[in-house]
Amino acid sequence: MRTAVVLLVLLGCCQTGAQLQNEEREINQSTTQPDIWAELTELRDMVVEQRVELAVTKNELGARLQTSESQVAELQKENEAQTLELKLMEARLQTSESQVAELQRENEALRDMVMEQRVELAVTKSELGSTKTELAAAKTELGSVEARLQTSEGQVAELQRENEAQAVDLSAMENRLNSTELQLQEHKTVMEELKSTVEELKRHIAERPKVAFSAALTNAGNVGPVNTDTTLVYTKVFTNIGNHYNPATGIFTAPVRGVYYFRFNSYGSGSSIFIGSALYKNGQRIVSGLDHQTSIDKEDSSSSAAVLQLEERDQVYMLLLSGFIVYDDFHNRSTFSGFLLFPM
Ligand SMILES: *[C@@H]1O[C@H](CO)[C@@H](O)[C@H](O)[C@H]1NC(C)=O
Ligand SMILES: *[C@@H]1O[C@H](CO)[C@@H](O)[C@H](O)[C@H]1NC(C)=O
Ligand SMILES: *[C@@H]1O[C@H](CO)[C@@H](O)[C@H](O)[C@H]1NC(C)=O
């Protein structure tokens, strides 16, 4: 309000100054004019006029002053209201400032956090970089593993094919093995039979009687001639298995039923003498050996053989026939032999 008053006073002064200058200029002019009185009158009129104007102006100014004062009062009220408002605003400002300070602190804290996070981000980035490298390496490894896997799978497939082929082979071999085993079983059976047969044969052979004899007649030269058929006693025994030939009687006695082989040789020496002997079984003549020496042919032999089926206790022997001779000496020229072919 004070400011408004000063402004009004200044406004009044300026107006008065301008009027004085105008008056002075008019006076300078009047001095040049001869009618000073006229001018003075004019001046006085002007002054009066100006006084009127001044009074009017004074009234106006009073009215304006009142207006101004009421305006000042108005403005004072407004000013007070504004002061109040200003205080409120100051309080709000303080609040705002403290909030700003708070926010700044928070901002700094946030900046620190951002810095930290940047650092972390950088670390994370570098970690990410190394992880990427590792990932690339892992990918490469995976690639090689995949390649190996493919190779392995190929090999597995190949092995499976081989396995299948082998399974077929194996099945065929199993068939062959089964048939071979079957044959083997059959052969085993046959072998068992053969074994028992062999055992039986062995037993048979072991149990089979062993019968063989061979003997020469005498060292005494001629035997005979005799008047009746006489048993020839072969005294020089070469072999007598089982002792079934009796060198004291000249008789062979069959120990078992069976088939036997007998052979004899009768020698003669000199002229006009007849060799004569015969093989007998139980008093029955079987084969004879007869020969007649001449003066040209002074030595002769007659021999024969026979296969006989005998019963146990059958007797076989040689007879010197009546009127004949048989000769023997250390050369063992006249012999009688026999053996069992097989029992029955
Ligand atoms: C008035 O007249 C005098 C002398 O003639 C001169 O020196 C002066 O400057 C004049 N004043 C004005 C305001 O013209
Ligand atoms: C071979 O013999 C065995 C046992 O006897 C049997 O289980 C199998 O099935 C046979 N195999 C063939 C191919 O005959
Ligand atoms: C005749 O037989 C006897 C055995 O009785 C023998 O020792 C001898 O050497 C035989 N003699 C000849 C010439 O064969």
What's the 170 CA to ligand 2 centre distance in angstroms? 12
Question: Atom 2 of ligand 2 has which residue's CA nearest to it?
Answer: 178
pLDDT value for 310: 98
Contact of 286 with 304, CB cutoff 8 Å: no
- Proportion of the chain above pLDDT 90, given as a percent: 48
What is the pairing mode between strands 335-343 and 299-310? unpaired
What's the 71 CA to ligand 3 centre distance in angstroms? 198
Cis peptide before 247 (omega within 30 of 0): no
- Is residue 144 pLDDT above 70, yes or no? yes
Residue 231 sits at the vertex; the CA angle it makes with 226 and 232, to the nearest 5 degrees, is 90
**Rounded Cα–Cα distance for residues 316 and 280 (Å):** 6
178 lines ligand 2 (CB under 6 A): yes
What's the 139 CA to ligand 1 centre distance in angstroms? 111
Enumerate residues 6+ apart whose C-beta is below 8 A from 323.
225, 226, 227, 274, 276
Q: What is the DSSP string of 221-271?
A: EEE---SS-EE----EEEEEETT-EETTTTEEE-SSSEEEEEEEEEEEESS
- Is residue 37 pLDDT above 80, yes or no? no
pLDDT band at 317 (very low <50, low <70, confident <90, very high): very high
* Ligand 2 closest atom vs CA 175: 13
Mean pLDDT computed over 310-333: 95
What's the 164 CA to ligand 2 centre distance in angstroms? 18
What's the 176 CA to ligand 2 centre distance in angstroms? 10
pLDDT value for 5: 47
Q: Taking the model in full, what pTM does it have?
A: 0.46
Helix axes 36-207, 2-32, angle to 10 degrees: 140
User: DSSP letter at 321?
Assistant: P
197 lines ligand 2 (CB under 6 A): no
Least confident range from 31-35, 150-154, 173-177, 264-268: namely 31-35
Mean pLDDT computed over 195-217: 91
Question: Atom 1 of ligand 3 has which residue's CA nearest to it?
Answer: 332
Looking at the CA of 175, name the nearest ligand: 2
- Proportion of the chain above pLDDT 70, given as a percent: 89
